[in-house]
Amino acid sequence: MSTKANPYENFLNVLDSAAEQDGISLNEYATFRFPERELTVNFPVHMDNGEIKMFTGYRIQHSSARGPCKGGIRFHPDVDMNEVRALSAWMTFKCAIANIPYGGAKGGITCDPSQLSRQELERMTRRYTSMISPIIGPHKDIPAPDVNTNAEIMGWLMDTYSMIEGYPVPGVVTGKSLDIGGSLGRPEATGRGVMLVASSLSQKLGLDIKDCTFAVQGFGNVGSTAALLISQLGAKVVAVSDHTAAFYCADGLNIAEMLDYCAGNNRVLSGYKADGVTEIDKNELLYTDVDFLIPAALENQITEENVSKIKAKYIIEGANGPTSYEADKILFESGKIVIPDILANSGGVIVSYFEWVQNLQSLQWSLDEVNNRLSDLLLKSFNEVFELSQERNCSMRMAAYIIALRRLVRAKNTRGLYP
């Protein structure tokens, strides 16, 4: 099966080469080639028109070697078993790279949320939660937002789980709203992390970020926050796109204004107009002539077929899995630097970890405390990965997987094999 059709194959290719490069035998890491537990649920939902519609959802726990499983829930028409498998495995490696005490998991429902009313979305979320409730919990597996899910949906999940248990359990989910135990800084955390690693990379390379240009694919939570924070550093974000449209301005787009526009336009960019801004083909955004490209949409955007068209020298993966295994090798050979997803977008799960710690201790940290701790943890792992990639003359993705795999293997060996 091609990696395009199966992102889990993409993960295995990277994992196997990292193990080979670091001399880790199959015996030592074979467990991490398989998800620990996979749950598929099929369930009915009452639609507003009186019909009963069947939905299929998943929750896959890739590893609990380093702690409870952790990862988001995605609502999207393309959600399937292989996608959720890959996303769950990437969470294991993301948490290991950040060195936070979690394994990895992911969930999703195959659906098009734009076709559901708010009430249908709520009923679907609650029924899905009840179906996966036997395997989630604050010490088992902690969901969070991902593509097309948000704080409100996490609130329904928290409420449903708490009703089943019979008492409030805020620590069962992260990315909740502040009123029910969410953390300050969580909504912006992934985009903030993308900004932090972009700015650290520019420092390492002796570049002044104010002289750098950026293109951002995706204007959801991650892409729009990263674009805003990067433009606030004084860099020029010259191009952004979402699934409806793409815009370019050589002097830098006004990201704050675009965010306001989206808020009043059903959360999409289409129809945006401003002086000096031109609409470009949304499929061409990846090929914009910029210093930094941030793919912050979905998987498999940069592949063997289109990699030669990428002009950016530095690629910061805001999305999970945007680059195929083959394309990644070509990017490395052509001297481009890729900050891999499991590092570049780890800000989200790092602040999820802070939210969970606050829930378990019934505390609330200040925004400064959250942001300072985020930057400490993220920049520590960024430096470790950057240094190993220099030492080994390998891509930052390889270095990230090697560091994560070493941590995973050590945890597995220390725990030993049951029974």
Q: How far is the CB of 345 from ligand GLU (least distance, A)?
A: 6
Residue 311 backbone phi and psi in degrees, to 5: -100, -25
Q: Which is nearer to ligand GLU, 258 or 319 (CB)?
A: 319
Task: Choose between 71 and 181: whose C-beta lies nearer to ligand GLU.
Answer: 71
Chain position carrying tokens 């550093």: 233
404 three-class SS = helix
CA–CA separation, 354 and 331 (whole Å) = 34
CA distances from 216 to 203, 244, 288, 379, 394 (A): 20, 14, 10, 22, 25
Q: How far apart are CA 215 and CA 108, in angstroms?
A: 28
Identity of residue 119: Q
Q: How far is the CB of 101 from ligand GLU (least distance, A)?
A: 13
**Of the two residues 17 and 345, which places its CB atom closer to ligand GLU in the complex?**
345
Least distance in Å: CB of 233 to ligand GLU?
A: 23
Q: How far is the CB of 387 from ligand GLU (least distance, A)?
A: 23
Q: How close are the terminal C-alpha atoms of the chain, in Å?
A: 35
Q: By C-beta, is 242 or 355 nearer to ligand GLU? A: 355
197 or 239: CB nearest ligand GLU? 197
Which pair of tokens denotes residue 227? 């674009």
As measured in angstroms, the least distance from the Cβ of 349 to ligand GLU is: 4
Q: Residue 257 CA to chain centroid, in angstroms?
A: 25
Distance CA 75, CA 68 (A): 23
- The b/e string for 384-404 (b: 16+ C-beta within 10 A; e otherwise) is bbbebbeeeebbbbbbbbbbb
d(CA 78, CA 322): 15
Q: What does DSSP assign to residue 175?
A: S
Paired with 402 in beta bridges are: none
Determine whether 106 is an active site residue.
Answer: yes
Radius of gyration of the chain (CA): 21
Nearer to ligand GLU, 245 or 350 (CB): 350
- Beta carbon of residue 254, minimum distance to ligand GLU (angstroms, whole number): 28
Rounded least distance, CB 286 to ligand GLU, Å: 21
Structure tokens at 45: 């939902």
Amino acid at residue number 357: V
In angstroms, what is the minimal distance from the CB of 129 to ligand GLU? 16
Which of 291, 315, 289 lies closest to 301 in space, CA to CA? 315
Contacts of 20 (CB under 8 A, 6+ apart): none
CA 134 to chain centre: 25
> How many other C-beta atoms are found inside a 10 Å radius of the C-beta of residue 105?
34
Closest CB to ligand GLU among residues 71, 171: 71
Q: Which is nearer to ligand GLU, 125 or 202 (CB)?
A: 125
Closest chain position to ligand GLU (CB): 72
Active-site annotation holder among 94, 106, 282, 336: 106
By CB under 6 A, name the binding residues for ligand GLU. 70-72, 94, 144, 146, 174, 320, 345, 348-349, 352
Residue 66 and residue 55 in contact, taking contact as beta carbons nearer than 8 Å: no
Catalytic residues: 106
